[in-house]
């Protein structure tokens, strides 16, 4: 078998987490190779090009840019300039099945006034309290999310005590918000963001009330050319720093010497490395790349028993007109709670499903031919744990969703569709996403912090993880954070203390962990 020159770091997958790690590692002077199975970078964030239209495959919301800004600052660049970030106002329009709508904005005074107009003084006061509480919650929880966890003993650390008072793990997002918002529409407006994690606000831990806060405090951004252009630009910068990105290079297995990862095999070729990073769907990667007998904590049986996020039903529509509607819109079902219950109990919602629509060309006409537009449509649906026979149901469900879009102002849409792609949970499952759970492992309390797969994979030496399936979790900001954590851990393993242009290159208030030196 042919053998490549040894690298300091091999990264399996060119998603945002792996690319973020590669930027920091290459800037620190390490030799980095990325092997990507697809013909383009991005993973779930890649762009789709069809019939002259450009769509984001997955994420469309870019919020809490602080992590991205700091990573780029560490390598001497400006994230907003390099990524073409465009602030959106309104951030999105939320339309309630119960009646009324609100245009969300990061102008907090204006947002407070809009809440007052929609549902009264008590809810406006509740929003002011919500902002203050979650500003403190973010400040206290920051060190829990941007540092590694190694086990239960971390719970008796100073950082854990600081956050415990405000985290209130016995509460869900929904119950926490019900304290301060009498109107259920406001509870919904501050909680639908748990869908970014693929979870119901009735099940998500109360920590995640910070998700909406991040939007209101920091705003929402579009990236010129689509959100998927972010990973394309990251890859461009990585290559400028010397990272070797090899596309169409599927990895078949991780190579071990005892319990130490020493590289990978791809296309019958060995790629040896001092450190190996897996940037892929966690459950899929474990079950495909590492023999089951080597994985006691994360065996196939244990992985199968874990809880996973919901999936999504997707429409990517090329349209021969431009609708004068906001960039982002969400329709929340009149019986939102029942809609969520259907998803968690593995039923298709046929009665008034909730729908998200991105109308990106209202901001970025480059995504479609002149006077045309792209519509990205997402409906939360169950993952593939139970068979819902999407081949049988998808056309009928598609027709229902097109009808639902009239509630968002997309009238007479059917007659304007000139390009169409449908993706179901089964399609996601068939593209190496375990159970079609596009938001990865669920973020329940028993699958967070040290109970989540760790950035330095616990079972082996010199093997690391990045992405939504590892700590700190899914969502683009946290995935980028996972890349930064892994980058710091590898630098420690290589005995490096690099100059990151004034940005901390280690973990604030956390003792540097003892990590075996690289081979």
Tens-digit pLDDT profile for residues 19-28: 999 999 999 9
Tens-digit pLDDT profile for residues 177-235: 999 999 999 999 999 988 777 788 988 888 889 889 999 988 999 999 999 999 999 99
pLDDT over 90, % of the chain: 79
Q: What angle do CA 133, 137, 138 make, to 5 degrees?
A: 120
DSSP 104-128: E-S-HHHHHHHHHHHH-HHHHHHHH
pLDDT over 70, % of the chain: 93
Instruction: Report the pLDDT value the prediction gives residue 147, as an integer from 0 to 100.
Output: 78
CB 8 within 8 A of CB 16: no
CA 40/CA 46 separation, integer angstroms: 7
- For the domain made up of 310-436, give the CATH fold: Guanine Nucleotide Dissociation Inhibitor; domain 2 (3.30.519)
Reduced to 3 states, what is the DSSP secondary structure of residue 319? strand
Q: Which helix (H) or strand (E) holds 79?
A: helix 79-83
CA 440/CA 43 separation, integer angstroms: 13
Per-residue DSSP letter, 7: E
Predicted confidence band of residue 5 (pLDDT cuts 50, 70, 90): confident
Does 115 score more than 70 pLDDT? Answer: yes
Question: Higher confidence at residue 170 or residue 304?
Answer: 304
**Two tokens at 431?**
């593209």
**Two tokens at 58?**
């997955």
Does 345 score more than 80 pLDDT? Answer: yes
Q: Average pLDDT, stretch 97-123?
A: 97
CA 106/CA 3 separation, integer angstroms: 53
H helices of 179-295, in order, are 184-189, 210-218, 229-240, 282-289
**Two tokens at 78?**
């400006």
Instruction: Report the pLDDT value the prediction gives residue 158, as an integer from 0 to 100.
Output: 53
Instruction: Report the pLDDT value the prediction gives residue 443, as an integer from 0 to 100.
Output: 81
Tens-digit pLDDT profile for residues 127-186: 999 999 999 888 877 776 777 766 544 544 555 555 555 556 668 999 999 999 999 999
**Two tokens at 458?**
């616990």
Mean confidence (pLDDT) of the chain: 91
Reduced to 3 states, what is the DSSP secondary structure of residue 383? coil
Structure-token match 């956050």, residue found: 163
DSSP 399-435: HHHHHHGGGGT-TTGGGGEEEEEEE-HHHHHHTT-GG
Does 249 score more than 70 pLDDT? Answer: yes
Does 387 score more than 60 pLDDT? Answer: yes
Instruction: Report the pLDDT value the prediction gives residue 4, as an integer from 0 to 100.
Output: 78
Q: Which helix (H) or strand (E) holds 212?
A: helix 210-218
CB 366 within 8 A of CB 84: no
CB 448 within 8 A of CB 474: no
Bridge-based pairing of strands 32-35 and 85-88 is: unpaired
| 185 phi, psi to nearest 5 deg | -65, -35
CA 128/CA 430 separation, integer angstroms: 45
pTM of the entire structure? 0.93
Does 518 score more than 50 pLDDT? Answer: no
Does 517 score more than 80 pLDDT? Answer: no
Instruction: Report the pLDDT value the prediction gives residue 98, as an integer from 0 to 100.
Output: 94
CA 180/CA 167 separation, integer angstroms: 16
Of 216-220, 273-277, 414-418, the least confident: 216-220
Instruction: Report the pLDDT value the prediction gives residue 519, as an integer from 0 to 100.
Output: 40
Q: Give me the residues paired with residue 358 across strands.
A: 328, 376
Write the burial class of residue 144 (CB in 10 Å: 0-12 exposed, 13-18 middle, 19+ buried): buried
Q: Average pLDDT, stretch 270-276?
A: 97
CA 483/CA 16 separation, integer angstroms: 8
CA 163/CA 368 separation, integer angstroms: 46
What Å distances lie between residue 171 and 130, 202, 323, CA to CA? 15, 9, 41
Q: Average pLDDT, stretch 345-357?
A: 96
CA 231/CA 412 separation, integer angstroms: 35
CA 212/CA 223 separation, integer angstroms: 20
CB 212 within 8 A of CB 193: yes
What Å distances lie between residue 135 and 129, 218, 240, 504, CA to CA? 10, 11, 37, 22
Tens-digit pLDDT profile for residues 485-514: 999 999 999 999 888 988 888 886 565 655
For helices 108-119 and 210-218, the axis angle rounded to 10 degrees is: 120
**Two tokens at 255?**
């190579």
DSSP 20-34: HHHHHHHHTT--EEE
Cis peptide before 35 (omega within 30 of 0): no
Q: Is the CA virtual torsion 465, 468, 471, 476 positive or negative?
A: positive
CA 66/CA 477 separation, integer angstroms: 8
How many alpha carbons fall within 13 Å on the CB side of residue 85? 21
Instruction: Report the pLDDT value the prediction gives residue 416, as an integer from 0 to 100.
Output: 98
Distance of CA 178 to the CA centre of its chain: 26
Mention every residue, 6+ apart, whose C-beta is less than 8 A from residue 220. 61, 62, 63, 87, 88, 91, 92, 106, 328
Q: What is 2-84+225-306+439-493's CATH superfamily?
A: FAD/NAD(P)-binding domain (3.50.50.60)
Q: Give me the residues paired with residue 308 across strands.
A: 441
Instruction: Report the pLDDT value the prediction gives residue 173, as an integer from 0 to 100.
Output: 93
CA 354/CA 342 separation, integer angstroms: 11
Domain ranges for the chain: 2-84+225-306+439-493, 106-215, 310-436
Instruction: Report the pLDDT value the prediction gives residue 246, as an integer from 0 to 100.
Output: 98
How many alpha carbons fall within 13 Å on the CB side of residue 199? 28
Going by C-alpha positions, the residue among 311, 117, 110 that lies closest to residue 219 is 110
Question: Higher confidence at residue 360 or residue 164?
Answer: 360
CB 507 within 8 A of CB 147: yes
């Amino acid at each position: 078998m042919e053998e490549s020159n040894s690298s300091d770091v091999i990264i399996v997958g060119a998603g945002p987490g792996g690319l973020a790690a590669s930027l920091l590692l290459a800037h620190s002077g390490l030799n980095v190779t990325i092997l990507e199975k697809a013909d383009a970078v991005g993973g779930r964030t890649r762009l789709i090009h069809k019939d002259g239209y450009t769509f984001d495959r997955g994420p469309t919301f870019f919020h809490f840019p602080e992590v991205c800004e700091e990573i780029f600052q560490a390598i001497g660049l400006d994230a907003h300039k390099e990524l073409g970030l465009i602030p959106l106002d309104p951030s999105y329009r939320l339309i309630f099945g119960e009646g009324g709508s609100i245009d969300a904005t990061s102008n907090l005074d204006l947002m407070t006034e809009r809440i007052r107009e929609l549902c009264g003084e008590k809810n406006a006061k509740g929003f002011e309290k919500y902002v203050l509480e979650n500003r403190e919650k973010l400040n206290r929880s920051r060190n829990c999310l941007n540092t590694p966890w190694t086990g239960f003993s971390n719970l008796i650390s100073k950082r854990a005590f600081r956050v415990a008072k405000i985290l209130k793990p016995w509460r869900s997002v929904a119950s926490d918000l019900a304290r301060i918002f009498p109107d259920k529409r406001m509870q919904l407006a501050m909680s639908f963001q748990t869908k970014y994690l693929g979870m119901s606000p009735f099940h998500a831990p109360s920590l995640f009330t910070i998700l909406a806060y991040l939007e209101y405090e920091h705003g929402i951004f579009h990236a010129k050319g689509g959100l998927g252009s972010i990973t394309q630009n990251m890859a461009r910068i990585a290559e400028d720093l010397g990272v070797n990105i090899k596309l169409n290079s599927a990895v078949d297995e991780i190579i071990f010497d005892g319990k130490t990862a020493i590289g990978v095999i791809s296309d019958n070729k060995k790629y040896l490395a001092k450190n190996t990073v897996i940037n892929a769907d966690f459950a899929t990667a474990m079950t495909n790349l590492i023999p089951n007998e080597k994985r006691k904590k994360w065996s196939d049986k244990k992985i199968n028993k874990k809880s996973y996020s919901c999936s999504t039903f997707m429409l990517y529509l090329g349209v021969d007109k431009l609708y004068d509607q906001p960039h982002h819109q969400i329709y929340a079902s009149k019986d939102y709670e029942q809609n969520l219950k259907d998803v968690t109990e593995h039923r298709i919602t046929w009665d008034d499903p909730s729908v998200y629509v991105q109308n990106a060309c209202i901001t970025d006409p480059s995504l479609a031919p002149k006077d045309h537009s792209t519509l990205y449509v997402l409906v939360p649906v169950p993952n593939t744990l139970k068979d819902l026979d999407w081949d049988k149901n998808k056309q009928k469900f598609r027709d229902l969703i097109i009808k639902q879009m009239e509630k968002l102002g997309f009238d007479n849409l059917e007659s304007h569709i000139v390009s169409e792609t449908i993706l179901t949970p089964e399609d996601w499952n068939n593209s190496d996403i375990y159970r079609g759970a596009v938001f990865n492992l669920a973020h329940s309390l028993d699958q967070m912090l040290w109970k989540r797969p760790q950035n330095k994979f616990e079972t082996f030496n010199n093997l690391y993880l990045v992405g939504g399936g590892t700590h700190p979790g899914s969502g683009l900001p946290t995935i980028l954070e996972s890349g930064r954590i892994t980058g710091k851990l590898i630098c420690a393993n290589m005995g490096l203390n690099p100059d990151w242009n004034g940005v901390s290159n280690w973990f604030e208030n956390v003792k540097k962990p003892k990590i075996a030196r690289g081979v």
